[in-house]
Structure 1
């Protein structure tokens, strides 16, 4: 009997299977998000959250153009040379005179280690005095341009050693990355700009340069210095254009790199706000605990006011403990039925008053006194209950 039942069940299942195959092909659903280009979670289509931007800032990841910093530093340097050219020239002449004015000492018998040290130290100090204004201006401008680009945020994350940086496979892959190709284009462009500007400058000054041997040393230095400063400023201005273009490119690239997938946003929310399912369970447990405490106090109530089916509110009035009646319990639908059941079990009067029940449910929290606006309606209900019990409350 059992074998025949199994056989008939098998035949039914087999016929049903073939019928399904002939009537409609089977389809399998795949979550294609996990096969997307950008890996698990799908494509990066969502704007970065403030937390991700903050974390990236802490890691030292910012939209910053080195080219813009270089261009601003060069402009500041050459303009400083142009401004302090008199001071610089005077300093170099003093150094020149210092060294060559002591030629006789250097060649004489009095020359020794002490003399050489003093002469070298004095020469270095003079050169440092000459270069100090230039270095100071370059540093201030570099700092200011960095501050404008990325604001003030000190991070030592980039200085920390990372073994991933010395990974040869990753290093080899970076050689052919889009970023490296962009860096190569910028380098070639800078070389072409320098070559073009230098060629034009030297071509314009070609006739003047041929006369260098006809003028004295001081004039020659002034002429060469003027050519170098003009050429440097032209190159710096060209670099500034490249730097501004690179800065906007870095901003776009940074925004693209910071984009997030929907899955990443969900994971971040779980990390910061907690898992929604866990939070929901916690709230559910807290709600259950609150309801248990509420139901434990329910037998103390003087009356339960109902809607009659949707709402129930239990109140108690103890003139020695409170100035007004207190709401001990309230509930809707299923919880309202439980309140009424417990009230019947404890012989608590149940009074139907639709407006009062609704107002108590929506406007009064459990454990709070009822507001003065509801005094009159509540007093009427309590008076009715006390009359039924044959007692009195004043």
Structure 2
């Protein structure tokens, strides 16, 4: 079945829970590279000085150390601390850049679905389909593009410095280190910027490809709706059953009414009132057409007074629900009817 419809929010949420999100690894890597080379650009001098001091310390003071079984662990710890201090700014900034890149692309997400054993992944036919899929072809083109573009830019920058490379044998060691460090930073920043453009383009492709994978057929949407909202046919049957129960209860209340006000045939409203027990009259049942006729039959059977009052019957049916008290604006009209009923039944003194 052709999948032509966009994924529903529920389908997207389920995919997200499984860890299936649109994310570009290239975009994350490019931001990490930019962050790393940027910190080198700003703190390169301090890092170079610390490295110089570390080498000087290793080639001078450490040579005078008395190497024993107790001093070796201490020496290792000192070198480890100094190395960590040198590398920590680059590592910290790179980690923050990777975290920010992932949060910006997919938000906060923790999923263990991808860690579960899935034997379907061992299917050789499915594996072959993945290898020769459109996605694999796009990944191949993207890899070739990265190699060609980044390699071409690197070659161009190195070619521009060919004259300096020819002079390296005549330069002092510090000058050589300074030149190579500067060239490395320039190459790193330039390549990272180009890589960022490739990563951004890849991110939009990943979003497109992810949305395409999540596409649904019209039948899928119908099935999802049935799962979420329930089968419309079953819901209709439940509502019909509820209406039947409500009608049955209303019919049981008709004999307890003092009067049944009718239209005469289209509407019927049963009103109950017991002096001393109720503050105001209450609508205990109402119905239209067939239900109204049924109410008339029950009222006749139980000798409930039936009165025809078209305007009042319509107003009560339209504005008062079963179980609600009569509104204040209808007190007078209902009271007059109840007074008449009591007179008919001989409960009011003449």
Cα distance in 1 for residues equivalent to 2:196 and 2:135: 20
Distance 1:240 1:249 in 2: 14
Q: CA deviation at 1:69?
A: 0.8
Question: Under a length normalisation based on structure 1, what TM-score does the superposition of the two structures give?
Answer: 0.83
Candidates 66, 75, 80, aligned match of 2:39? 80
* Conservation of the 8 A alpha-carbon contact between 1:306 and 1:353: yes
Distance 2:74 2:59 in 1: 14
CA distance in 1 between counterparts of 2:344 and 2:71 reads 121
How far the C-alpha of 1:160 sits from its partner, in A, is 2.8
Q: What SS is found at the alignment partner of 1:328?
A: strand
CA distance in structure 2 between the partners assigned to 1:192 and 1:129 by the alignment: 36
Shift of 1:118: 4.4
Once the two structures are superposed, residues 24-82 of structure 1 have per-residue CA deviations (whole angstroms, 9 ceiling, x without a partner) of xxxxxxxxxxxxxxx3xxx3333322222222221112221111111111111111111
Please list every run of 5 or more consecutive structure 2 residues that lacks an aligned counterpart in the other structure: none
Aligned to 2:24: 65
Structure 1 residue 188 corresponds to structure 2 residue 159: no
**Partner Cα distance (2:327, 2:236) in 1:** 32
> Is structure 2 residue 101 aligned with structure 1 residue 145?
yes
Deviating more after overlay: 260-269 vs 311-320? 260-269
What does residue 338 of structure 1 align with? 294
- Contact 1:98-1:123 at 8 Å conserved across structures: no
Change (3 A) 1:373 1:45: farther
Q: Give the total of aligned pairs.
A: 350
**Structure 2 matches for 1:71-150, cutoff 5 A?**
71-101=30-60, 111=67, 117-150=73-106
SS at match of 2:179: helix
| Residue 50 (1) aligns with residue 9 (2) | yes
By how many angstroms is 1:384 displaced? Answer: 2.5
The 1:133/1:64 distance shift into structure 2, 3 A limit, reads same
After the TM superposition, which residues 162-173 of structure 1 pair with which residues of structure 2 at under 5 Å, given as runs? 162-173=118-129
Of residues 154-163 and 205-214 in structure 1, the stretch that sits farther from structure 2 once superposed is 154-163
Post-superposition shift, 1:295?
1.1
1:69 aligns to what SS in structure 2? Answer: helix
TM-score (norm 2): 0.93
- Structure 1 residue matching 2:325: 3-state secondary structure: coil
Report whether the alignment pairs 1:359 with 2:318. Answer: no
Asked if structure 2 preserves the Cα contact closer than 8 Å seen for 1:386 and 1:393, the reply is no
Q: 1:140 Cα deviation (Å)?
A: 0.7
- Residue 158 of structure 1 aligns with which residue? 114
Per the alignment, in what secondary structure is the counterpart of residue 210 of structure 1?
helix
Cα offsets for 1:218-265 (capped at 9, x unmatched):
221111011111011111111111111111112222222222222222
SS at match of 1:350: strand
Of 328, 336, 345, 2:284 maps to 328
Contact 1:64 1:149 survives alignment (8 Å): yes
Tell me how far apart the structure 1 counterparts of residues 91 and 62 of structure 2 sit (CA, whole Å).
31
More deviation, 258-267/294-303: 258-267
Between 1 and 2, higher relative CO (CA 8 Å, sep ≥ 6) is seen in 2
CA drift at 1:134: 0.2
Moved more, 335-344 or 276-285: 276-285
Deviation at 1:176, TM superposition (A): 0.8
Shift of 1:121: 4.0
1:1-394 matches, within 5 Å, as 39=1, 43-101=2-60, 111=67, 117-392=73-348
